[in-house]
Amino acid sequence: MSFFKQFEFPVLAGVLSIFLFVSCEKEVTTIGSEIIGGKAFASNKAVFDVFAYNKKVKAVPTNRLPVYQLGVFDDPIYGKTEARITTQLLLPSSNLSFGKYSQDDEDQSSTNSSVTVIPENEIIDSVYLYIPYLKSPKVSRANTANIDSIVQRIDIDSVYVNGGVYDSIVETAFDFKVERSTYFLRDLDPDTNFQEGQEYYSSQQFSPSFVSDVLYEGEYVIDDKQFLFRKQDNGTTDEDESKLFTKLSPGIRVPLDKTFFQENILDKEGGAELLSQSNFNDYMRGLHLSIAPGSQDVMILLDMSEASVTMYYHYDKIDTKSTEDTSDDEKIEDQAEVVFNLSDKNIANWNMVNTFESEPYPIEISDALDTGVNAERIYVKGGAGTYAELKLFAEEEADAQEFIEQIKSNNWIINEANLVFYIDQEAIDVPNGIVDPPRLYLYNLDGKEPLINTSTDFEGARGSFSLFSDYLNYDGVIERSSEGVGEKYTIRITDYINDIIIRDETNATLGLTITPDINIDILRVFGNTVLEDGAKDLPMVSTLTPLGTVLHGATEDNGEKRLKLEIFYTETDQ
């Protein structure tokens, strides 16, 4: 995923345009007071009113997400948010055993006819937690040759420091803590007769009530270099494995308390605790991850799909020298490892919860939320933040329908329809500025679906996170000045307006939020979100980012930068 990647955008032709015009625009007209008729096939631009309402989100569902936030984000506009993670550990297999033989075989070694079965005396050498950062798809910066032993530097753009973007030149550290969670994360909801997954919300707090053993606590320095490990030579092959290396992408990698894992996992071999995942969940519960506020506030977006805990251990075994002659057999130590993933491709097999704790918003923001009044400023923030509800043409549906009928009666061919959101530079004028959200997301709130038309818009190169390469006709990407200052976001809703005018679709209430991803499969996921005035299904994608911004609203006070609906159309003979 690349949140701040520079991208050259091609100029896209309007896919619904039917005619080629030498002169593309006449006088700008506003529909409402009058409709300007014109000559046949003349191209015009009409401007309609938009009504925007700020809404506060109290809590969002945050289990089984594609991206998790961890740390402290001090937003200069919205205030400080702390994000923590509570997660299960997944057994690599049912009835987990260690070494070569099961515990039952070891216990019966004295009566077993095989001389190679002995008590293996497994002892943990080390335990490591590893969680990769989300990384940019840009090419690594350090290696010019494909040499296995070279450590590569990888561009990471998913770490925020003191409200800004991580700079690899400046050393950044944070206080990281890993504890045992004592909270049982249910996979299925008993209120649905165990037919649906259990939802957990961002407002739930598991610490300090539901944590126990501290497994790691210390300062961790962020690094953009890969982890490089020399493999151990197992001595049983002709190849010297010690000349080979394994690599891990940049991320958090810390040692955990090996005594805890010896006593609570490895020594449980053969017991009911390791018999099944459900038994293990009930016994072990999981891990609780947190970053303490410090001199540097650090917020990290993490790819938990590759997160794991790896136990490295040694055990006794009999070396038979690959012969049937037992006279020269000897007992030796062998090395092994076992990996506990924190998530699984099958979403039903794991559970992990992101919890947020935020400061109250400044009074000028809180007073502008849930007022039911057309907003002078629009506040949008990710996480358990804020979003806006938009109504097109008029506040009342009956009045809006009158405008729609006027357009129909004038036989307009809609070539393009845009909503232009200008960033309120005065509202975000703070020391060191803010991190501008790279893309806004507008969706059908009533219908719980994206406005993106995948049959007429285009996907770019597919990847885990394709924020800038997909659906560029829909747009929503930040537009910057020549000095690099974020100025506005334009979202094209041509297909949506044509559906209303031509196909008599409902003029729905729209929702506006921030997205760190434009993957259509993720955009289609809605979750039951707790608001100040009830609950509503909102897109889960806005949960995945801590960023926020302030936009000019739809009131006349905003002048030329007020939010409005722009429709470019062709008039036909009437």
Kindly indicate the confidence band of residue 236, based on its pLDDT and cuts at 50, 70 and 90: low
pLDDT of 390 over the 90 cut: yes
Contacts of 63 (CB under 8 A, 6+ apart): 185, 197, 198, 199, 200, 351, 352, 353, 354
Strand partners, 567: 46, 417
Mean pLDDT of the chain: 83
Predicted confidence at residue 332, as pLDDT, reads 80
- Cα angle 456-460-462, degrees, rounded to a multiple of 5: 120
| Backbone dihedral region for residue 36 (phi beyond 0: left; psi -120 to 50: alpha; all else: beta) | beta
Show Cβ contacts of residue 474 under 8 Å, excluding neighbours closer than 6 positions: 451, 452, 453, 457, 491, 492
Beta strand segments in 403-483, E: 412-422, 440-444, 449-450, 475-480
pLDDT digits (tens, 9 = 90+) for 101-115: 788 777 776 665 565
Q: Which string of DSSP letters, residue by residue, matches 209-258? A: TTEEEEEEEEEEE---BPEEEEPPP-SSSSS-GGG-EEEE-SEEEEE--H
> What is residue 228's predicted lDDT score, i.e. its pLDDT?
81
Both structure tokens of 65: 């997400």
What is the C-alpha separation between 299 and 295, in angstroms, rounded?
13
Q: Please check the confidence at residue 25 and state whether its pLDDT lies above 50.
A: no
CA 31 to centroid of chain Cα atoms = 40
**Top-confidence residue, 7 or 525:** 525
Q: Which pLDDT belongs to residue 242?
A: 55
In this predicted structure, which of 283-297, 458-472, 499-513 has the lowest mean pLDDT? Answer: 458-472
pLDDT at residue 381, as a whole number: 97
Q: How far apart are CA 422 and CA 419, in angstroms?
A: 10
Q: What is the residue extent of each domain of the chain? A: 44-62+361-571, 82-354
CA atoms within 13 A on the CB side of 171: 4
Note the pLDDT of residue 333.
85
Which pLDDT does position 453 carry in this prediction?
72
Is 50 exceeded by the pLDDT of residue 91?
yes
**Which pLDDT belongs to residue 472?**
63
